[in-house]
Structure 1
């Protein structure tokens, strides 16, 4: 399959349309791109027989549910199929996010290193890839929650009328006031559960707009539900705790978690580097950054510093710039990718992105062809929340 100086394999799979036939649908739209590539460099292998469709199904890899935009949790079965034939020992998940792919790589036997630029993700990763629920029992968690008393503090004074009700803001202040009295080894787990509770109580699970009015509106809900929004923080925290506990029951070897580095500053030495960078929408001049979407969680993660991080000119009380800005410029994404490939020369690379966005699929494909002898392009269609379109997720693997 990989014969020749520069080999490319195309695999396109649709998990939405069970009626799609091997010679119909999006194969036709992919063919001109394949032929154009063929004329520039080396032979192209287009595996049309393996282009099939199947119904979406629950993933068979145990990992706690998350409410983050762009999470790969629903794609783990597909990614497992793509990664299982790769050889090597050490793997880097450079934009770790929820940690779902790190979890998968560990499950496949890789000695995995998780990295992310944001503190709230680092805290969650330290929670998920440890024995945190063994150190903090459910009974101890409930006793902690019972000690929380609503109080007027920084959150109440700063975020009135934005993301949560006044009473909920006071409860958050009470939670954060109790946290320092808890053992340091238990704080990560408590914060991770709080992060997930905050997301569940938010319309759209984001903080890029206030949207508190949607919780009080009588209009039909198009995303999320009022029952979830109106459940207490305690209830959501307990649910998340139990999910983490279940995932840790079958935990294999641990995953190394960095201190939170810029991806470009991570030292080389890995056999596989997986990249899931921010996506940039082609139709928009500016795409909301992850910091804009989750600044509230980052504030909770850096609670003592939060007052000094606030942009006082922001109506949303977002974190001011510059703050850990990484890969936030669409014009620089290809340059950043090239830098990573050169820095980790000799490593296999896997890149997740979305088709029909910027940079284009063809630009990303050409970047891989210029840097690797063997390239595999796999595409699958997944329904995405907050989107009326059904875009193809793409996975490029270069060796």
Structure 2
């Protein structure tokens, strides 16, 4: 059941009301997502204050949305495209929604005879009917622009994620079909429901907000009161490759234009993007460079006890650029792995605050 959220105004918002609003943000099942930590983060952000905030690794978009609900001028960034589209649709967008006519058009007959998804992913992930719909939907989205285009792509991405077991694309069959409605609802109907969810999420916080795609080291460090960091966690074992898990969503967000598909792979995954945050050998230097880049802002970092480096190492690194470092530990059931041996889920989530 959705929570009843009062009409947003910057003058009356509180951490509790902002967290309540964020609880209604369309939920994407995403590795490392911070939906469950929203109440704690809201209290932390309220204590810090300020007016301009950066969410440097936006992922599911929920923290960017929380910051917007708290009245910040938000810059949302991610190194993948589909999280940026989500943030453009629900954070940067202040007023546009998809009309009933827009939704009817996208879920109606195709505007052309394109069949890229039908042919490239034949027999994979979805039904024939679903793959036909995805091609047809893009035949209309290609004629859209601005926030409406972002909303349509975000709804399409969320539809595909909800329909796929566990929300990841590391397998092509239905081995994890547990009978849930989401797994059997046609994508055409998913899209109608997801579009309605994103429409409900749109609101004007009376501040300039934007969303970009890029590396954290390319973001201008000037002017942010608050910088929130939730980088990919360097795991001691296994991997944390977002491209491997969400390659289909990334490709779908651009209709695979400009993407390199690894044709020899069973899942038709995309070439992995390098990030120094993913490896034990490079994570400490990457964190130090990031902390140093945003040393003039208050830094809030989320990190998990499932990852390396450990809490004391991160505290030491952050202390190199911040004289006042606070560490908050939160017991958290953390979604990290998707396989039977992923037993690291009960963990402590740390919130580091560097002033």
TM-score range, shorter chain: 0.7 to 0.9
User: For residue 299 of structure 2, what is the aligned residue in structure 1?
Assistant: 349
1:150 Cα offset (Å): 10
Within-5 A mapping of 1:84-163:
84-131=46-93, 134-148=96-110, 153-163=115-125
Unaligned 5+ segments in structure 2 are: 1-17
User: For residue 235 of structure 1, what is the aligned residue in structure 2?
Assistant: 189
1:185 Cα offset (Å): 4.5
Larger Rg: 1
Superposed CA deviations along residues 127-159 of structure 1, whole A, max 9, x for unmatched, are: 112557744213431233123489672212222
SS at match of 1:296: helix
Superposed CA deviations along residues 98-150 of structure 1, whole A, max 9, x for unmatched, are: 22112222333332211111111111111112557744213431233123489
Do residues 335 (structure 1) and 335 (structure 2) align? no
1:325 Cα offset (Å): 4.2
Distance 1:76 1:309, change over 3 A: same
* Corresponding residue to 1:302 among 245, 254, 258: 254
* Corresponding residue to 2:212 among 259, 271, 278: 259
* Corresponding residue to 1:316 among 267, 275, 278: 267
SS at match of 1:314: coil
User: For residue 201 of structure 2, what is the aligned residue in structure 1?
Assistant: 247
Give the TM-score, by structure 1 length: 0.75
Query: Contact 2:276 / 2:286 at 8 angstroms: preserved in 1?
Result: no
User: For residue 393 of structure 1, what is the aligned residue in structure 2?
Assistant: 349
User: For residue 8 of structure 1, what is the aligned residue in structure 2?
Assistant: none
1:254 Cα offset (Å): 4.4
Distance 1:296 1:375, change over 3 A: same
1:240 Cα offset (Å): 1.7
Q: Distance in 2 between matches of 1:163 and 1:255?
A: 38
Query: Contact 1:61 / 1:76 at 8 angstroms: preserved in 2?
Result: no
Q: Distance in 1 between matches of 2:42 and 2:348?
A: 17
Distance 1:74 1:181, change over 3 A: same
SS at match of 1:95: coil
Query: Contact 2:232 / 2:240 at 8 angstroms: preserved in 1?
Result: no
Corresponding pairs, count: 329
Q: Distance in 1 between matches of 2:114 and 2:200?
A: 35
SS at match of 1:292: helix
* Corresponding residue to 1:288 among 232, 236, 240: 240
Superposed CA deviations along residues 233-287 of structure 1, whole A, max 9, x for unmatched, are: 12222222222222224x31345324311001111112221110012222x1x41
User: For residue 7 of structure 2, what is the aligned residue in structure 1?
Assistant: none
1:213 Cα offset (Å): 4.2
SS at match of 2:213: coil
Query: Contact 2:65 / 2:90 at 8 angstroms: preserved in 1?
Result: no
Query: Contact 2:235 / 2:279 at 8 angstroms: preserved in 1?
Result: no
1:380 Cα offset (Å): 1.1
Q: Distance in 2 between matches of 1:120 and 1:171?
A: 19
Q: Distance in 2 between matches of 1:326 and 1:303?
A: 27
1:324 Cα offset (Å): 5.9
Distance 1:348 1:304, change over 3 A: same
Give the TM-score, by structure 2 length: 0.84
Distance 1:311 1:106, change over 3 A: same
Distance 1:149 1:119, change over 3 A: same
Query: Contact 1:133 / 1:245 at 8 angstroms: preserved in 2?
Result: no
Distance 1:329 1:384, change over 3 A: closer
Do residues 61 (structure 1) and 11 (structure 2) align? no
Distance 1:303 1:325, change over 3 A: farther
Name whichever of 370-379 and 240-249 sits farther off.
240-249
Q: Distance in 1 between matches of 2:253 and 2:333?
A: 31
Q: Distance in 2 between matches of 1:273 and 1:110?
A: 11
Do residues 369 (structure 1) and 329 (structure 2) align? no
Higher relative contact order (CA 8 A, sep 6+): 1
Unaligned 5+ segments in structure 1 are: 1-57, 216-220
Q: Distance in 2 between matches of 1:101 and 1:345?
A: 21
1:87 Cα offset (Å): 3.8
